[in-house]
């Protein structure tokens, strides 16, 4: 039900099935890039998958929407999920790292919730494996929402207006941590983007990308070497790769304690990346062009190809950045709730 953004229509009009680049798109590229494009399996995001034990229902989505925006789920009634994942700024935040309860500053940049349903692992270090598992983390986190679960359950139980909502979502009025997580996750799975200019280009609208964006795509697929990690419809392998940054945050190592995982972070999706500055797990890079430069030249030169012939020029970095801008999907039409259960 969540693919009703017209993506299917664009594809059908072009006589294509998902994931198969159109001849019109391939013609714009060198043979080498065209081959890489096919093997990278770039293409439209399919429908969101729902876990068997948490099928989506309108009642759960509505309860989840209210909980997502309700500041009462934080310890001092000031912070909601939307404080750090704000629909006004593409469901992310503009601070380099999050500021939570009592103005406490966290160590990491808040990723966007938009399309997060397509990740296979969650958080920069992959410590949660589903949106359900993820949702309770920030509530109890002492520097995010600072609300111990026992207290939250008691508090929500006192809000009479939530009772009928829990009942229609789950069959009875009981407020449990599991139900809160399930409702929020169901809501998050509705926060998905519509097709990007790049999706339209792949589907056959050859002029959906500017000349600079086509040059950027060509680089992305060839010389710039982005595709080994940023591939598939969601433009990520979901794998942990080196950040090449400082030792301030050891990333995946904190979860596994395996020395090989030091400074490794989950490869982020590049969909709508232009809408969610600042960049990287620590929000240290304010501009997209800077982020592209860093990944293209600094990181790759050290790790992937120590061949300086492959270093990108300033104008190539610009083209690559223009291409990234073509990955912005249409934002879901959305109104935050104006009234909360009393
Ligand atoms: C104080 C700011 C803050 C609040 C409040 C907050 N988050 Fe987050 N959120 C973050 C940060 C920072 C991360 C990344 C943390 C990490 O990777 O260790 C994150 C990660 C996530 C992710 C994972 C995204 C991904 O790409 O893996 C989701 C989903 C998410 N939050 C949803 C929520 C929900 C739902 C709530 C409310 C229950 C919430 N957040 C409350 C800051 C916040
Ligand atoms: C070896 C795998 C790998 C390759 C190759 C790679 N990336 Fe990434 N990319 C990552 C990882 C991992 C991160 C997260 C790093 C961090 O946050 O510390 C990342 C982060 C980014 C970000 C920031 C995203 C955000 O939301 O903060 C951008 C932009 C980006 N990459 C673009 C590119 C471009 C353009 C290329 C090709 C020049 C490229 N990447 C090549 C793995 C890779």
Tell me the C-alpha to C-alpha distance, in Å, between residue 265 and each of 30, 121, 250, 331.
32, 11, 9, 26
Q: What is the pLDDT of residues 59-82, one digit of tens each?
A: 999 999 999 999 999 999 999 999
**Contact present, 208 and 200 (Cβ < 8 Å):** yes
Range in 169-173, 321-325, 334-338 with the lowest mean pLDDT = 334-338
Residue (of 29, 27, 31, 11) closest to 19 by Cα position: 11
| Residue 334 confidence (pLDDT) above 90 | no
* Mean pLDDT across the chain: 89
Tell me how far apart the alpha carbons of residues 40 and 55 are, in angstroms, rounded to a whole number: 31
How confident is the model over 87-107, as a mean pLDDT? 93
Tell me the C-alpha to C-alpha distance, in Å, between residue 134 and each of 60, 87, 108.
17, 19, 15
CA of 135 to the centre of ligand 2 (A): 25
Tell me how far apart the alpha carbons of residues 281 and 293 are, in angstroms, rounded to a whole number: 16
Residue (of 287, 230, 219, 304) closest to 30 by Cα position: 219
Tell me how far apart the alpha carbons of residues 155 and 175 are, in angstroms, rounded to a whole number: 10
Residue of 111, 112, 266 to test ligand 1 pocket, by largest number of atoms within 8 Å of CB: 111
Provide the token pair at 278: 């600042």
**Contact present, 139 and 121 (Cβ < 8 Å):** no
Tell me how far apart the alpha carbons of residues 251 and 263 are, in angstroms, rounded to a whole number: 5
Which atom of ligand 1 lies closest to the CA of 281? 17
Q: What is the pLDDT of residue 311?
A: 82
How confident is the model over 261-275, as a mean pLDDT? 95
CB environment 74-98: b (16+ within 10 A), e (fewer)? bbeeebbbbbbbbbeebbbbeebbb
Q: What is the pLDDT of residues 98-147, one digit of tens each?
A: 999 999 999 999 999 999 999 999 999 999 999 999 999 999 999 999 99
Q: Is the peptide bond before 120 cis (omega within 30 degrees of 0)?
A: no
Any ligand 1 atom below 6 A from CB of 131: yes
Residue of 232, 295, 310 to test ligand 2 pocket, by largest number of atoms within 8 Å of CB: 295
As a whole-number percent, the residues of the chain with pLDDT over 90 amount to 78
| Residue 277 confidence (pLDDT) above 60 | yes
Which atom of ligand 2 lies closest to the CA of 285? 27
């Amino acid at each position: 039900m969540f693919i009703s953004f017209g993506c299917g229509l664009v594809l059908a009009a072009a006589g294509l099935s998902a994931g198969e680049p159109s001849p019109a798109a391939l013609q714009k590229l060198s043979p080498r890039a065209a081959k890489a494009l096919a093997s990278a399996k770039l293409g439209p995001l399919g429908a969101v998958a729902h876990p068997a034990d948490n099928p989506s229902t309108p009642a759960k989505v509505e309860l989840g929407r209210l909980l997502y925006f309700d500041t009462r789920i934080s310890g001092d009634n000031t912070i909601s999920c939307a404080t750090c994942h704000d629909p006004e700024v593409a469901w992310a935040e503009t601070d380099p790292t999050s500021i939570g309860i009592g103005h406490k500053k966290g160590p990491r940049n808040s990723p966007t919730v938009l399309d997060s349903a397509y990740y296979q692992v969650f958080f920069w270090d992959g410590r949660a494996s589903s949106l359900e598992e993820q949702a309770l983390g920030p509530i109890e986190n002492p520097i995010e929402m600072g609300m111990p679960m026992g207290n939250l359950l008691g508090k929500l139980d006192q809000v009479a207006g939530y009772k009928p909502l829990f009942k229609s979502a789950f069959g009875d009025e009981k407020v449990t941590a599991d139900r809160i997580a399930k409702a929020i996750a169901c809501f998050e799975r509705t926060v998905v983007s519509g097709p990007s200019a790049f999706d339209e280009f792949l589907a056959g609208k050859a002029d959906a990308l500017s000349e600079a964006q086509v040059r950027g795509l060509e680089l992305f697929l060839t010389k710039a070497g982005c595709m080994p990690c940023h591939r598939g419809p969601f433009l990520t392998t979901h794998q942990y790769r080196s950040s090449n940054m400082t030792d301030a945050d050891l990333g995946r190592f904190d979860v596994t304690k395996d020395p090989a995982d030091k400074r490794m972070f989950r490869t982020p999706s590049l969909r709508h990346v232009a809408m969610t500055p600042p960049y990287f797990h620590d929000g240290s890079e304010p501009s997209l062009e800077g982020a592209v430069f860093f990944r293209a030249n600094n990181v790759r030169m050290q790790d992937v190809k120590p061949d300086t012939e492959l270093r990108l020029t300033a104008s190539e970095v610009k083209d690559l950045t223009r291409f990234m801008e073509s990955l912005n999907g249409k934002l879901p039409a959305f109104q935050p709730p104006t009234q909360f259960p009393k």
